[in-house]
Amino acid sequence: MKQPVCVLGLGLIGGSVLRAAQRAGRTVWGYQRSAGAAATARAAGFDASTDLPSVLGRAADAGALIVIAVPMPAVPAMLAAVKQYAPDCPLTDVVSVKRPVRQVVSEYGLLARYVGGHPMAGTADSGWGAADPDLFRDAAWVITADDGCEPAVWRAAAQLALDCGATVVPAGSGDHDEAVARISHLPHVLAEALAIAGADGGELALGLAAGSFRDGVRVAGTSPDLVRAMCEANSAALSAVLDETIAIVTAARDSLRAGQSLHALTAAGHTSYGKYARRLRSEITEPRLGEPGWAARLRAAAREGGVITQLPPPASS
């Protein structure tokens, strides 16, 4: 029988995990703080409750995989409850940063049963009402491969991601946070800056805006609190990437002002775009989970574009 799944937080991501895992034939239930959203989920045929101790007690009895799916500020409260009611269950999460979550998990003494996760999927909408069992289809889902993690927990978290239709990327927590600073948090900061610079041009500028502006500002339509929460939780990695970006834009500005060519910017930008358009993806076939150095080898493979679309059977001893 497949391992049951207990989801804490039934917003867009947690709700989508609940729906996708149930469709994959897993026994699933969840906790939702809001009584209204829990009732809506129950009315849709899902097992949702506002009683956190009861939800976690059931996870402890069933040996379920627990998935923390609340925003970063609410993570400590969830960990405190897990420690009290289900400290031996395998534990993962779907929060958008990984080092900060890992740090808090460590403070609660739950690191031995934890492996981090982050599905690279979302929509402009939020909440249970936007939850979609197809949200993760063909998306990348990072399952963190840090030294000392438990192979059985890693396998459990990775299997959930695969059951939800995603592709597993076994990145280290630090590698993850640096990567998402570049490809998720930086685009949000630049979209906000572009929106501000555009609107500062008044109605004339906004009325002349066409495709390049429309695409460049799209994610500035995201809830400002959500953008803040993502970016502030990853401040170290993001501020370093902002340093790089400021240097690139400043060099372009200086070239223009000196009457020189923008060739350096446009050539590098176009080459980089080509790397993105033709990015590599290869199936990771080794090591076996639990082999000496397995986590470091997975991390190294992920840095080269390696992914996992199917788990090998557990090693027999």
Considering only residues 208 to 247 of the shown chain, the ones binding a copy of itself according to CB under 8 A are 208-213, 215-225, 227-228, 231-232, 235, 238-239, 241-246
Among residue numbers 49 through 88, which ones bind a copy of itself (CB under 8 A)?
A: none
CA 171 to chain centre: 12
Q: Decide if residue 178 touches a copy of itself (CB under 8 A).
A: yes
The window from 32-40, 50-58, 103-111, 268-276 that contacts a copy of itself (CB under 8 A) reads 268-276
Q: Which two tokens stand for residue 94?
A: 């779907």
Helix (H), strand (E) counts: the chain = 14, 10
> CB of 56 within 8 A of CB of 66?
yes
Least CB distance from residue 275 to a copy of itself, whole Å?
A: 5
Residue from the set 148, 279, 292, 316 that interacts with a copy of itself by CB under 8 A? 279
Among residue numbers 287 through 316, which ones bind a copy of itself (CB under 8 A)?
A: 302-305, 307
Least CB distance from residue 67 to a copy of itself, whole Å?
A: 20
Among residue numbers 93 through 152, which ones bind a copy of itself (CB under 8 A)?
A: 120-122, 139-140, 142
Look at the chain and count its residues.
317
Residue from the set 256, 283, 291, 312 that interacts with a copy of itself by CB under 8 A? 256
Q: Which two tokens stand for residue 60?
A: 């402890």
Q: Decide if residue 168 touches a copy of itself (CB under 8 A).
A: no
Q: Decide if residue 42 touches a copy of itself (CB under 8 A).
A: no
Least CB distance from residue 178 to a copy of itself, whole Å?
A: 7
**Unique residue bearing structure tokens 């000392």:** 148
Residue from the set 182, 287, 296, 311 that interacts with a copy of itself by CB under 8 A? 182
C-alpha span between 48 and 206 (Å, rounded): 45
Least CB distance from residue 122 to a copy of itself, whole Å?
A: 7
C-alpha span between 280 and 151 (Å, rounded): 27
Give the residue with the Cβ less far from a copy of itself, 84 or 250. Answer: 250
DSSP strand pairing (48-49 vs 117-119): unpaired
User: 140-178 burial by CB neighbour count: b if 16+ within 10 A, else e?
Assistant: bbbbbbbeebbbebbbbbbbbbbbbbbbbbbbbbbbbbb
- Cα dihedral 100, 106, 111, 114 in deg (nearest 10): -30
**24 secondary structure, DSSP code:** T
Give the residue with the Cβ less far from a copy of itself, 88 or 215. Answer: 215
Residue from the set 45, 207, 292, 313 that interacts with a copy of itself by CB under 8 A? 207
**Beta-carbon count within 10 A of 97 CB:** 26
Q: How far is CA 183 from CA 30, 120, 275, in A?
A: 31, 10, 13
CA 317 to chain centre: 34
Residue from the set 1, 43, 45, 275 that interacts with a copy of itself by CB under 8 A? 275
| Bridge partner list, 117 | 143
Residue from the set 180, 289, 298, 308 that interacts with a copy of itself by CB under 8 A? 180
Residue from the set 1, 203, 310, 313 that interacts with a copy of itself by CB under 8 A? 203
Give the residue with the Cβ less far from a copy of itself, 48 or 180. Answer: 180
DSSP strand pairing (5-8 vs 91-93): unpaired
Give the residue with the Cβ less far from a copy of itself, 80 or 183. Answer: 183
Residue from the set 71, 151, 187, 287 that interacts with a copy of itself by CB under 8 A? 187
Least CB distance from residue 58 to a copy of itself, whole Å?
A: 33
